[in-house]
Structure 1
Amino acid sequence: MENMSTELEDLVKLNLYDLLQVSCTAGNKEIQSAYRKKALSCHPDKNPDNPEAVKLFQQLSKALEILTDGPARTAYDKVLKAKKAHELRNAELDSKRRKLKKDLETREKAAREEEFGSVDPAKTLQEEIERLRKEGSKLLEEEQELLRKHMQKKEAVFSEEEKRKRLKIKWKAEKADPLNGGYTYEFLHKVFNKYGEVSCLIISSKKNGSGLVEFLLPTAAQLAYENESGLSSNPIQLSWIPSNQGSNERFQQESYVSPKDSETVKAEGVLTSKDYESIVLMKLRQSEERKQIIEEMMKNQDTI
């Protein structure tokens, strides 16, 4: 194996079976399942700024490619077997016999040729890897496409759940009414917080009787939508905000004031609809929620 390429040396040192955490007798289905489980956690789309994760994903892909191809796996197993035999013999050498290592390597080469034939198994593996590179691995492409679709599906579910967290609020209030129909930020926050944690509450600063509320959980928003009517003397009307783009056309023309997010209020004391979208999107992309998605994907990977 003295003529190994750098890539081949790395593959043998790595031990593809250990990388996937499967036995050397594992079948293709077990290998594919192990690949999916590991590849989901280090997929480049989930780790764009982590070169180590990208490197691991590439190693996993190479492991899947070689170990699910019959000729390539056979060649790899022979190289691995020869390596282990070499390590075992070296471990048995004492200090005096190490001086005869060169002679031992010569005998080892002869023994290898007797067991595997005159063709170096490392060379055979190199040829199989080149063949796979030229032909392309259909199985690897299919697995990676499944991973992409799986993540896209999870992202779609995530986005749909986020839509169910935000409600538009309307109530009767005269334009010049300083009490805004009896609804203040503090009062509305107390009203909605009984259904679940309120992550964002915004009251229009240009039009009395109008606002937006976002809950931490969709279930809290659903409860509020179904049960809350506000003051009996001046009921509120709740409606869903249809998309992640923020509010409807009317709200896109307005500004908002939110004491809870006062650090983002501009010098004149109002938030534009663009500022509101930034606040919402920031909350949607919190790292903890991302971790929950990845954990769920890991639990369900066998159902792909």
Structure 2
Amino acid sequence: MLLPLVVFLIFVSVYSIAWQILGARKARLSLAGAGGLPASGRGYEQFNDQGRLLRRILKPFNFLAGLKVIRSLVNPMLAGRLLMAGSPLSVIEFAIFKVLCIVICIIFATIILRNDKLLSVIIGSVCGFLLPDFWLSMKIKRRHMEIRRDLPSVIDLLNLCVGSGLDFMLAVDRVVKNFKQCPLTQELSEVWRENRVGASRRDALQHLARRANLPELSSFVRTLLQADRMGAPMSEALKIQAEEVRLRRFLAGEEAALKAPIKLLFPLIFFILPAVLAIVAGPIILQFMQGDGLKF
């Protein structure tokens, strides 16, 4: 009786996900064909297919937003973490997502541990509560790595555009349109949008630093604001900042290389060394246990 139910749930899940993916692709192609977006995907509207798909899946469960358990999962830091991850989910949607993960994990734990329902509920609740936070932390870490990787190249392009006579915001516009799609261009496109709707360049850049919460990007914003306030040439400030970011990335690589031998000690001692000892000393120990003595 349980197996048909599991098969049915898997079929419904796969069908729902496939339908959501096809719907998202059709919406994107229709916007591109109507002139809302370039067909190549460049421009200021960055489609996060994974986030859009998750929002479409969570939409039927929005009625849960009024529950106390959903409200209790919302905290002030969650909104900032969602911004750092570049996720389109709101704090309420993420709380609903966490509750659904808890329910799904409890169901799977109950299927696996049939004889102990209390243990299934405990394990499923803990896993379902921690998995969304772990997923969000991994998204933040990956986004920060991509921003660090692309920041020197983007600063060089900004320096080239500003050096050729463009205003800084026009340079941002040019870089966003011509650089590859990445988290950094998404953040810069948001800066351009805020400036277009009336925010000052200073406020838009400060919002960028707060959203990303990345030391390299905060240093970049501080340098630009200081150069703007003191009347220094923007191109010179961008050139210095690009060199500083590259140097910082080089030093971070050296530091990671120096930490590598220490990180290898644990698997070497607990996994590789016992295997080597078993291969070398195993036959000798077996000979002694059989009473044959040591044979050469």
Please give the TM-score of this superposition, normalised by the length of structure 1. 0.24
Pair member with larger Rg: 1
Looking at secondary structure, tell me which structure has more strand per residue.
1
Structure with the larger RCO, 1 or 2 (CA within 8 Å, 6+ apart): 1
Looking at secondary structure, tell me which structure has more helix per residue.
2
